Amino acid sequence: MKIQTPVYYGDYLQLPKILNAQAPESTKYGKTAHDETLFIIIHQAYELWFKQILHELNSVREIMQQPFVPSTDLSVIIARIERVTTIQQLLIDQIQVMETMTSLDFMEFRDFLVPASGFQSIQFKLIEAILGIKAQHRMEVEKQFFNSRLKAEDKKLLEAEEARISIFELLEAWLERMPFSQFEDFDFWGEYSHAVDKMLKQDREIISNNPVLDDRTRTMELKNLDMTQNTFNTLLDSRLYSAWQGEGKVRLSQKAMLSAVFIYLYRDYPALQMPFRILNALVEVDEKFTTWRYRHAIMVQRILGTKIGTGGSSGHEYLRSTTERNRAFIDFFNLATFLIPKSMIPALPQNIKDQLDIVYDSFRP
């Protein structure tokens, strides 16, 4: 290979563009606020990382969009999602740098920024949408803000992204296609149901015989156990499960949820290790965004108190509610409800074990 033109570091990275892209608003008003440079650079650094996250998530979507996802692609999916979570950790840690700016420092230039706001970070909204948080999952106030505060071209971009299939939807379809919900000559879910009954019976005995509990607490704990029983019943009954979906308690289809439970229970088998790591990595993406949202909300409270944001929202209050609500993979957090102790998990027949196994050792007892 013959090198065409020698590459120069600054030109390759287009540094003249990037390093001349900091223009404090306060300068335009005649008195440059020292901390505004930090404020701009932090936001720019975030936006660059958001771009990288979108690059990774778009490629994950492309792989998952294939009608048949070959198992050799699974490790690529995992590596890219894990890169996203590593970047997210950096984003969480960067909040500390932002917090070196105090309320008073911020007040020196805050008013010049109205009505701009992190609300208008189109890349942040695109990340939410590609993961699976679309208009119908957002709070009313959030939707209204988009309609009134986003530039027409950004609104168009977001609508186009929302019209595309999300990673949540692709994951759901992939789980539905997995052949684990039904086995020809083995009633796995019947066995699982027996194991659950056994576990709940044990729990009931422990509560009933616990000498430390007074009658009121015992009755309450037994009632909670009845609720747990109902939750398990719902998982296995398509009519009850649909009702749950109708009430918005769960988004994931029953078929996909059953596959996911199977993967979580038997994740030690080689065939299920990669699917388990994918589910786990996506839960990690959600958890890291939730942590970021929470840290950002606390920082906002520290810097703004109860003032409204430059974007006009109730500031801390609004951010706290998106922290709780905007999670694409919440169903996979709640999936832990359906797990049972390892010692009680039904043993699989040999022919199914063989399908899930890879034998690495030539010595097989």
Q: Which of residues 78 and 98 has its CB atom nearest to ligand HEM in the complex?
A: 98
> Would you tell me how many other CB atoms lie within 10 Å of the CB of residue 329?
23
Query: Using N-to-C axis directions, what is the helix angle for 152-163 and 140-149, rounded to 10°?
Result: 130
Q: Does 311 contact ligand HEM by CB under 6 A?
A: yes
Q: Which of residues 85 and 322 has its CB atom nearest to ligand HEM in the complex?
A: 322
Helices (H), the chain: 9-12, 15-19, 25-28, 36-64, 71-98, 103-107, 110-113, 122-131, 140-149, 152-163, 167-177, 188-208, 215-236, 238-246, 254-265, 270-304, 316-325, 330-334, 350-356
Q: Which of residues 277 and 296 has its CB atom nearest to ligand HEM in the complex?
A: 296
330 labeled part of a ligand binding site: no
Q: Which of 265, 202, 208, 271 is nearest to 235 (CA)?
A: 265
Q: Which of 188, 310, 332, 352: binder of ligand HEM (CB under 6 A)? A: 310
Amino acid at 22: Q
Q: Which of 333, 327, 334 is nearest to 133 (CA)?
A: 327
Q: Which of 122, 275, 322, 331: binder of ligand HEM (CB under 6 A)? A: 322
Q: Find out whether 181 and 262 touch, Cβ atoms under 8 Å.
A: yes
37 labeled part of a ligand binding site: no
Q: Which of residues 106 and 112 has its CB atom nearest to ligand HEM in the complex?
A: 106
Query: How many Å apart are CA 295 and CA 327, to the nearest integer?
Result: 16
Minimum distance between the CB of residue 48 and ligand HEM, rounded to whole angstroms?
10
Indicate the SS3 state at residue 183.
strand
Q: Which of 171, 300, 330, 335: binder of ligand HEM (CB under 6 A)? A: 300
Minimum distance between the CB of residue 138 and ligand HEM, rounded to whole angstroms?
9
Binding pattern to ligand HEM, positions 92-121, x when CB under 6 A? ------x-------x----------xxx-x
Q: Which of 46, 109, 146, 266: binder of ligand HEM (CB under 6 A)? A: 46
Q: Does 129 contact ligand HEM by CB under 6 A?
A: no
Q: Could you tell me how many residues of this chain bind ligand HEM (CB under 6 A)?
A: 23
Residues 6+ apart with CB under 8 A from 247: none
Query: How many Å apart are CA 300 and CA 44, to the nearest integer?
Result: 18
Q: Find out whether 215 and 289 touch, Cβ atoms under 8 Å.
A: no
Which window, 79-87, 253-261, 298-306, 334-342, contacts ligand HEM (CB under 6 A)? 298-306
Minimum distance between the CB of residue 133 and ligand HEM, rounded to whole angstroms?
10
- Supply the DSSP symbol for 110: H
> Would you tell me how many other CB atoms lie within 10 Å of the CB of residue 7?
9
Q: Which of residues 254 and 323 has its CB atom nearest to ligand HEM in the complex?
A: 323
Which window, 57-65, 71-79, 224-232, 318-326, contacts ligand HEM (CB under 6 A)? 318-326
Residues 168-207 touching ligand HEM, rule: CB under 6 A, are none
Q: Find out whether 130 and 57 touch, Cβ atoms under 8 Å.
A: yes
Q: Does 40 contact ligand HEM by CB under 6 A?
A: no
Binding pattern to ligand HEM, positions 246-285, x when CB under 6 A? ----------------------------------------
Token pair for 299: 């920082």
Residues within the interface to ligand HEM (CB under 6 A): 42-43, 46, 98, 106, 117-119, 121, 124, 296, 300, 303-304, 309-313, 315, 318-319, 322
What residues form the annotated binding site? 39-43, 110, 296, 310
